[in-house]
Structure 1
Amino acid sequence: MGDGVPGSAPATPAPVAPALSAVGLEADHGGPPVLRQATIEVPAGSRMALLGANGSGKTTLLRCLSGALAPTAGTVCVAGQAMQTSRSGLRRRRRLVQLVLQDPDDQLFSADVTQDVSFGPMNLGLSEAEVQDRVAQALSLLGISHLADRPTHHLSYGERKRVATAGAVAMRPQVLLLDEPTAGLDPVGVHEMLDSLEQLLAGGTTVLLATHDVDLALAWADHAAVVLDGRVHQGPAPRLLADAELLRAARLHRPWPLELAARLGLSRHGPPEAAPRHLDDIVALLQGSRKL
C-alpha cells in the first residue's frame, strides 16, 4: 500500500534535473561568434558524445560549461542550479564539473605524478589522509598506480593523458568533461581509457566526451550532440548519428555500422534507436534476415 490518500492517483515523480545544462550560450575569442545561442542538456548519469568539425566550437563549449571561459551571454546550470561567474561561484563549479583538455601538457605541471594528481584535492582544503586516498583511488581507476612516483616528463603521451584524467577524477566531480580523450592513443590505450570511464559511470559520474570519432560515439554514447554553426543539435545517439543531412553539414560521416546496415538493406525497418552499433549487431541482423 502506498502512503498517498486512499483512492488518489499515485504521485508523479519529480523530474530529474540534467546533470549539466546550458541555455543561450554566446562566446567568441575576440572575433566572430563561436557559439550562437547554444543550448545543451546532459542527462544525469549519461554517456554523451560531443561532435563537430574542427573549429566548430566543441572545445569552446566545454570551456564555457566548465567555467574555464566566461560566455558573453547565457546560463550554465549544474543539477538545475545556475552557476555564477564570481570567484566563489567558479570555485564551486570546479568541485562539481571537471574538464580534461585534449593536450595533457596543458594540464600537467608538477614534478611527479602523485604531486600533479594531488594538486586539486589539496586546494579543496582536505586532510592529508583524504588527499592521499583520493589520489590512490584515481590512479587505480586509471590503471596507473605504478606511475605514482614517475616524473611527469618521463611519461609517454598516453600515460600523460591518463594522469591528466586522474587529476580531474581525484576531484570527484559530478560531471567529467573530456576533450578528445582517445586522440593519439593506440587501440589498447583507447580500450583502457573507455574501461576507466565505465567505472566512473558505474559510480554515478556523468561523462561528456568530445570526439571526432563517429564510430566511437555510436558505440559508446547514450546521447550525442553536434555543434554546427555555433548551435547544438542533440538527441539519442543512434537517431542523431543517422541524420545524414546534419552529418553532411557538420562535415562528419555516417558511422560504419549504420552505413553498412544501410548498404545491406538491414536498416529499412524499426526505429533508429534499434540501429546496429557494433559488429555483433550487424551479425545478428544478418542472421535474422536469413531466417525470414
Structure 2
Amino acid sequence: MSHQQLAALDVVVGYTRGARVLDGASLTVPEGRRLALLGANGSGKTTLLRCLSGALAPTKGRITVDGATLQHTRKGLQAHRQEVQLVLQDPDDQLFSASVAQDVSFGPMNLGLPEPEVRARVAEALDLLAVTHLAARPTHQLSYGERKRVAIAGAVAMRPCVLLLDEPTAGLDPSAVTEALAALTRLQASGSTVVMSTHDVDLALGWADEVAVVVDGTVTQGAPDVVLGDDALLARARLDRPWTLTLGARLQALGLLPPGPLPRDTDALLAALPAPAEASAGAGAKEAIHPPSAATRGVELPLPGPSGGGR
C-alpha cells in the first residue's frame, strides 16, 4: 500500500430543512500516520468521514486524493473505494455473510480478483486483525468486539491507503479496546493511514499523531497536546480536557515535572516523575528553606492570654 494524501477542502454539507452540519470544513489526513477525529454528538464527525469515503457528496467544497478531486461517478467512486475504506460504528451494518471468511472476501471478490489473490488478501486481513482463528465461525456467533474487528478486516482486505473508522472502540470493554488499538497499530505498520473518530479525549491524546476537532461546522487540526490543551476550543466542542494534561500541568506547577511538553499517556507521565530519592531530596530542600510550622509537627501552640496578646 502506497501512502496518499486524502483531504477535505472547504466542505459544506446541509441536510433538508436543517442547519449546515459542515460549514467550510477542511481536513488533511497525514500520510502513514494516525489521526483522531473528535467532536460532540451531532458535530459532524460521521458526516465528514462519509464525505472522505465518497459515500456522501458535499454540497460545496471537494474531496481530494493527492490533489486530484474525487468525481462522484461510478468510475470515480469505484477507484476511490480501492484507496479509501470506511468502517461504520455498528459492525452489524456491514456483516452479512454466513461466515467470517466469506464476509472478509466479499470486497476483493467484487473487484474481480483471481481466487488465489482473494485468499491471500483474506488471510492477510484476518492475521492483521488477529481473528484468523475465527475464519470459519458464523458471524452471528461472534462477540461485539470480534464483530468490530471482522468488519475492519473486511475493509483491510481491500488494501486501502486510508482506513476511516467511525468510533471503533465504542461499546467495547477495556480488554477489547486494547486489542482493537493493537490491531490498528499493526495496520499502520503494514502501510495504512488510519483515521479514527472518537469521543475519548484521553485515548486520542495517547494514540494519535494528530487530532482534529469538529465544532460549529469547521475543523481545528494540529498536534494532540496543543489542540487538546486548548480549553476554549474544548468548551465550544463540549469535550473534557484530557486528565493526563490536567495532572501534568499541575505537577509542573509544583515543580515535580520539568518544563516542556506534557506527557501524553499514563506510562509517559510516570516515567517523567522524579525517582523517590530525588523527590525526598527535593522535599528536604524545601523544608530547609521553609521548615514546617509547629502545628504541622504536632506541637500544641500556647493560647493567647486574656489580653489577646502573644507570649
User: What TM-score do the two structures reach when normalised by structure 1?
Assistant: 0.89
Aligned to 1:28: 14
The CA distance in 1 between the partners of 2:190 and 2:117, in whole Å, is 18
Aligned to 1:14: none
The CA distance in 1 between the partners of 2:179 and 2:271, in whole Å, is 27
The match for 2:161 among 150, 167, 174 is 174
Q: Which runs of 5+ in 2 are unaligned?
A: 283-311
The match for 2:259 among 253, 269, 275 is 269
The CA distance in 1 between the partners of 2:248 and 2:181, in whole Å, is 25
Q: Secondary structure at the match of 1:36?
A: strand
The CA distance in 1 between the partners of 2:187 and 2:21, in whole Å, is 31
The CA distance in 2 between the partners of 1:78 and 1:50, in whole Å, is 19
Counterpart mapping for 1:125-274 below 5 A:
125-264=112-251, 265=253, 269-270=259-260, 274=261
Superposed displacement of residue 51, structure 1: 0.1
Between 247-256 and 28-37, report the one with greater CA deviation.
28-37
The CA distance in 1 between the partners of 2:230 and 2:4, in whole Å, is 24
Aligned to 2:111: 124
Superposed displacement of residue 162, structure 1: 0.7
Between 148-157 and 47-56, report the one with greater CA deviation.
148-157
Q: Secondary structure at the match of 2:26?
A: strand
Q: Please say which structure displays the higher CA radius of gyration.
A: 2
Aligned to 2:308: none
Q: Secondary structure at the match of 1:178?
A: strand
Contact kept? 1:139, 1:148, Cα under 8 Å: yes
Q: Secondary structure at the match of 2:79?
A: helix
Superposed displacement of residue 281, structure 1: 2.2
The CA distance in 2 between the partners of 1:123 and 1:223, in whole Å, is 34
The CA distance in 2 between the partners of 1:28 and 1:104, in whole Å, is 26
Aligned to 2:287: none
The CA distance in 1 between the partners of 2:202 and 2:23, in whole Å, is 27
Runs of 4+ in 1 over 6 A off after TM superposition: none
Contact kept? 2:34, 2:195, Cα under 8 Å: yes
1:70 lines up with 2:40 in the alignment: no
- The amino acid across from 1:171 in the alignment is M
Seen in structure 2, the aligned counterparts of structure 1 residues 262 and 76 have a Cα distance that, compared at 3 Å, is: same
The CA distance in 2 between the partners of 1:268 and 1:239, in whole Å, is 18
Aligned to 1:3: none
Superposed displacement of residue 35, structure 1: 0.4
Q: Which runs of 5+ in 1 are unaligned?
A: 1-16
Deviations 1:106-142 (A, max 9, x none): 1111111111111111111100110011011111111
User: What TM-score do the two structures reach when normalised by structure 2?
Assistant: 0.84
The CA distance in 2 between the partners of 1:243 and 1:104, in whole Å, is 33
Deviations 1:3-56 (A, max 9, x none): xxxxxxxxxxxxxx9621110111123222100010000111111000000000
- The amino acid across from 1:136 in the alignment is A
Aligned to 2:31: 44
Superposed displacement of residue 280, structure 1: 2.5
| Percent identity for Structure 1 against Structure 2 | 62
Superposed displacement of residue 79, structure 1: 2.3
Superposed displacement of residue 267, structure 1: 7.0
- The amino acid across from 1:68 in the alignment is A
Deviations 1:238-292 (A, max 9, x none): 111111110111011111110111222267832xxx2211223222332178477
1:284 lines up with 2:274 in the alignment: no
The CA distance in 1 between the partners of 2:257 and 2:42, in whole Å, is 32
The CA distance in 2 between the partners of 1:34 and 1:44, in whole Å, is 26
The CA distance in 2 between the partners of 1:77 and 1:279, in whole Å, is 37
